[in-house]
Structure 1
Amino acid sequence: MKKLNREFYSRDTETVAKELLGKILIHEVDGKRLSGKIVETEAYLGIKDKAAHSYGGRRTPRVEVMYGEAGLSYVFIIYGMYYCFNVVTQKEGIPEAVLIRALEPVGSLDIMANNRFKKDYNDLTKTQIKSLTNGPGKLCNALKINKALNGEDLCDNRLYIVDNDEEFNIITDKRIGIDYAEEARDYLLRFYIENNKYVSVK
């Protein structure tokens, strides 16, 4: 499978968010390959988007990576305990990104299950299987994505995304958990694969 290159990420953020669907996110860690198919994304449109960390040109150490070149990872923590993994898009200096919101587990299922639930995949309940990677914090936990990977180059060989040919319908909806963002909470910037059971909210 072909790794996505810088050119793929260096485009309109909404386009990247849609085209990331169906691609495979891979984390090479401790000699193992943890992976999942991207089934849900959210676009964050930077300076003009009240839901984005860089809204209004905000530039702090936390968001600095968003101003970097496309194809870097932006990992932040919410509620002091859950990591969220984002892909930086657009040209350097334009602080936009795509949140990877849900995955369908693909590789190293036992490792991901142990990361989340301290037991092997075959020992999970149906509810646990469905909730293994169906949210931004859950997928980071399962794939061992944390703040140490903030700024990681996704064109490198540790954390990256590869192409995957597959046909599906894309559903467009409002983003989740951004009620503070005034009119931006109504922007239709969440995209997910229709009828995929790992989507966080349908």
Structure 2
Amino acid sequence: MKLDQSYFRKDVLEVAPDLIGKVLVRVFDDGTTEKWQITETEAYRGEEDEACHARKGRTPRTEVMYAEGGAVYVYLIYGMYWLLNIVTGTKDDPQAVLIRGLKNIDGPGRVGKALQLDKSFYGENIITSTRMWIENGSEKLQHSTSPRIGIDYAPDEWRLKPWRYTIAD
């Protein structure tokens, strides 16, 4: 039921929409386990993508994006929210899926807060982790696409790409 390495080795434009309806599992420090259906994702695709953190190449912040698919990429925004991204694709091809929403949790900052993310998740392997992983959902859900949001710094060519995926109403 847990997604394997081969799943995350695929291109981000295949993985991001397919994660809609999958189940994110989090085992907390006190031993409790929570499961949420993934409801919204965004794709970021390599150094050529002007909205992607890897657009400027390898940096200490983006180094994990150059790992093989399945690595966790977390980063802090506004000094208070850890955002969850899952690296996809092959080694040295920086791609990642931002998990923007879970069932009843809208927004990537709220997702990070609910999951109690922190810097310790940076680089963790989502396949072998004992504290967070992704499983298949019970059914394949339809999704809709729209432009990515929160990336006003990117040129229109990249900002307007329909690489945001949400459960279809």
**Partner residue of 2:146?**
173
**Partner residue of 2:168?**
194
Structure 1: 5+ residue stretches without partners:
106-132, 196-202
TM-score normalised by the chain length of structure 2: 0.94
| Shift, 1:69, TM fit | 1.3
Q: Map 1:63-102 to 2 at 5 A.
A: 63-102=62-101
- Please say if 1:36 is aligned against 2:36: yes
Provide, for residues 98-144 of structure 1, a one-character-per-residue CA deviation record: whole Å limited to 9, x for no partner: 00000015xxxxxxxxxxxxxxxxxxxxxxxxxxx201010110111
CA distance in 1, matches of 2:61, 2:72: 12
| Shift, 1:60, TM fit | 0.8
Tell me which protein shows more helix as a share of its residues.
1
**Partner residue of 1:150?**
122
**Partner residue of 2:17?**
18
> Between Structure 1 and Structure 2, how many residues are aligned?
166
| Shift, 1:168, TM fit | 2.8
**Partner residue of 1:136?**
108
Identity over aligned pairs, percent? 43
User: Is the CA contact (8 Å cut-off) linking 2:20 and 2:141 kept in structure 1?
Assistant: no
CA distance in 1, matches of 2:143, 2:115: 24
| Shift, 1:166, TM fit | 1.6
* Letter aligned with residue 185 of structure 1: R
User: Is the CA contact (8 Å cut-off) linking 2:74 and 2:119 kept in structure 1?
Assistant: yes
Q: After TM superposition, which residue ranges in structure 1, 4 or more long, deviate above 4 angstroms?
A: none
| Shift, 1:169, TM fit | 2.1
CA distance in 1, matches of 2:112, 2:38: 12
User: Is the CA contact (8 Å cut-off) linking 1:35 and 1:143 kept in structure 2?
Assistant: no
CA distance in 2, matches of 1:136, 1:146: 14
| Shift, 1:35, TM fit | 2.1
User: Is the CA contact (8 Å cut-off) linking 1:152 and 1:159 kept in structure 2?
Assistant: no
| Shift, 1:26, TM fit | 1.0
